[in-house]
Structure 1
Amino acid sequence: MTDTTKTEAAPAGAAAEPATTANGEAAIPKITQWSEIRYRFMQNKLAVAGLFIVVFLFLIAIFGPYITPHDPYHQDLLQPLQKPSAEHWFGTDDLGRDLFSRVLAGTRIAMIVGFSSIALTCVIGVVLGALAGYFGKFVDTLIMRTADIFFAFPLLIGAIVIILVVGRGVLPVVISLALFSWATVARLLRSSILSVREMDYVNAARALGASNGRIIRKHILPNSMTAVMVYAAFNIGTAVVAVASLSFLGVGVSPEVPEWGNMLALGRGFIGVENHLWLFPSFAIVLTVLGFVFVGDGLRDALDPKLR
């Protein structure tokens, strides 16, 4: 009698690992967890559209200095407030600076601040959330009560206070946004770890003498990071809006820096007169936020085990 290996059929279009029977014959390919996640994500048309937007923004952020038709800092006082034209696609601002070049340059700042602030937020939140969820008791109480203190501060108000103390710039904005956002990540991860830490494979690792650090790193975090990944994807767009809001209020990056919030602050005084000053930066912000929201929504659906 010939032994065969039972395998699960993969959905059409999903990447699969080759499998063979015991006698070397080809068998139905077996799908892996990550290939199924990738397949479910790619089936979501809005998620794919969001991914294209994010990749497009990344390319602009990387290659923007090489494709801008004009120097975003160059002032031409002979051509202020020009309407969109073949020479200046988005027009010029009150100092004659090319608005199209400044919008492209603002993409780099938005990507740097968005990803850096969320990365720092996740590092702080994951470390503290893992400690709180795994050890519990006094450690849990101390970290969660500290998180409650940061929850009490509105994000923009807390960021403004930090920036006024340390000064304006990209780095202070990144630090301030992360400082008042880590509590959400810590609480999300803690709630996931509370259900994972009592699983049989975690108890087996303890029984085999694995250290607490190894258990957290190898067994608990990989099975608890879904909510954090979705949060990160959604909130990169939130960070982009936050830095634009801070600059709009006059406490973000320096006014001469080509940043979308600075452009909106300038265009505020020309609403109804020179609408191109605020229209194009606003569209850039909306497009960026939509891209990351679509990606986050697709990740949430793809990573949800109930849907799989």
Structure 2
Amino acid sequence: MSMFNPSPLTRRRWRNFCRNRRAYWSLILFSVIFSITLMAEFVANDKPILVQYRGEYRMPIFKFYPETAFGGDFQTEAIYRDPEVECLIVSGGLDACFDDPEGVIEDAQDGEVAGEAIEKGWTLWPIIPYSYDTAVDRPGAAPLPRNSENWLGTDDTKRDVMARVIYGFRLSVLFALIVTALSTVIGVLAGAVQGYFGGWVDLVFQRAIEIWSSTPQLYVIIILFSILPRSFWLLVGITVLFGWMALVGVVRAEFLRARNLEYVRAAKALGVGNLRIMMRHMLPNAMVATLTMLPFIITGTIALLAMLDFLGFGLPSSAPSLGELTRQAQFNLQAPWLAFTAFFTFAIMLSLLVFIFEGVRDAFDPRKTFE
């Protein structure tokens, strides 16, 4: 059945989800916020989205351009907010920019510089002209309060808080979704094998899970990060290694219950393979219990990432981490905007995810129709 012609069961589940108004509107709101953060480079960046220079169009957010590409002298990347670089772009790369950039820009806007006809250039900037690691050029001791450019102020290293929240929201959600997807696949397969076959297979799996679950996750992370450099994918791998066990017990119980039902025995008598029975006939019945656990796994993963970053054992310090923002709020009580930003970001994110997955759980539950 193609995605453009869904089955009656899929349509019924979607109708049930839409009738849950809280879940439906939470999905819309979360989709809008997450879509904005997915395009974070177009929303908050210290590089222009588009540059028109001598009739050519360039996108610095995707490609490296040295200053020499705009008529400058250095091979390093152009600092687009520098008045001299701005003058080079607007005036077409004239050397006079280095003598009087402000005057040349004014002349370039009139169409002539030193008697020469020029083709005026321009830059298209994001709404927030800072990336998550950009140092804000403002006088005063950090953290700085909000103003017209820094909507949520700056942190203790003069980085724009709004930009870090946008990038941090995307990073937290992607981390949670990746970890949850991998953990769910492993946990469902392990629980299905245990519950379906039972006997010594179940016994060996249970003993192995008991041993592995008793391993302290935080100590393992501390030890590994003292040896290996901290990275996003390393943290994903470690979290999956310890997170897949959350669904094993639920799926195992559903398969143990269903393995002796009549339809399973009939399928075995007809010669249907074990894998087909497990995936096609038994797994759909275990989906409601599995989906019930997903909100807790996702919110728990986001909280785990924030906790590790708060303690200093998570992502690199340069990463746009919401947990690191919370840590800054603890040590900068004179800057209440840091604490309020971290609190409301986590509250909105986690609430929307819980409401959405409540609707998904109810949509898969055949006993709920919202009629």
If the TM-score is normalised by the length of the shorter chain, which range does it land in?
Answer: 0.7 to 0.9
Instruction: Give 1:96 shift.
Output: 1.6
Comparing 95-104 and 246-255, the one that deviates more? 95-104
Distance 2:29 2:216 in 1: 29
State the Cα RMSD in Å: 2.3
Q: 1:233 to 1:54 in 2, by over 3 A?
A: farther
Choose which of 260, 271, 284 in structure 2 pairs with 1:222: 284
Name the counterpart of 2:132.
72
1:116 corresponds to: 178
Query: Could you tell me which residue of structure 1 aligns to residue 25 of structure 2?
Result: 49
Distance 2:270 2:202 in 1: 25
The aligned residue for residue 277 of structure 1 is 338
Aligned 8 A contact 1:125 1:182 in 2: yes
The structural deviation recorded for 1:159 is: 4.7
Whether the 8 Å CA contact 1:128–1:186 is kept in 2: the answer is yes
Structure 2 residue aligned with 1:304: 365
C-alpha offsets along residues 112-145 of structure 1, whole Å, 9 cap, x if unaligned? 2101111111111011111101110111111122
CA deviation vs aligned residue, 1:164-209 (integer Å, no higher than 9, x gap): 5544221122122222221121111111111222233322221222
Question: In structure 2, how many angstroms separate the alpha carbons of the residues matched to 1:90 and 1:83?
Answer: 7
Deviations 1:204-238 (A, max 9, x none): 22122222122222222233222222322342122
One-letter amino acid matched to 1:63? M
**1:1-308 → structure 2 map (5 Å cutoff):** 32-68=8-44, 69=128, 70-76=130-136, 78-79=138-139, 80-153=142-215, 156=218, 159-160=221-222, 163-164=225-226, 166-271=228-333, 273-308=334-369
User: Per-residue deviation at 1:156?
Assistant: 4.8
Aligned amino acid, residue 65 of structure 1: E
Q: Which residues of structure 2 form unaligned runs of 5+? A: 45-127
Identity among equivalent positions (%) equals: 29
Letter in 2 for 1:277: L
CA distance in 1, matches of 2:268, 2:186: 26
Q: Separation in 2 of the partners of 1:221 and 1:265?
A: 42
**Following the alignment from structure 2 to structure 1, what is the Cα–Cα distance between the partners of residues 205 and 224?**
21
Query: Could you tell which deviates more after superposition, 41-50 or 237-246?
Result: 41-50
Q: Secondary structure of 2:132's match?
A: coil
Contact 1:238/1:289 (<8 A) preserved: no
Residue of structure 2 equivalent to 1:12: none
Deviations 1:56-90 (A, max 9, x none): 34203311111111122111364432211211101
TM-score using structure 2 length: 0.69
* Partner amino acid, structure 1, of 2:42: Y
Question: Contact 1:156–1:242 (CA<8 Å) still a contact in 2?
Answer: no
CA distance in 1, matches of 2:319, 2:267: 52
**Within 2, Cα distance between the matches of 1:303 and 1:181?**
24
Give the TM-score of the pair, scaled to structure 1.
0.82
Matched-pair contact (CA < 8 Å) for 1:83–1:91 = yes
Instruction: Read off the aligned partner of 1:296 and give its amino acid letter.
Output: F
Larger radius of gyration: 2
Q: Secondary structure at the match of 2:272?
A: coil
Q: Which residue of 2 aligns with 1:11?
A: none
Shift of 1:287: 1.0
On the 8 A contact 1:234/1:296 being kept in 2, the answer is no
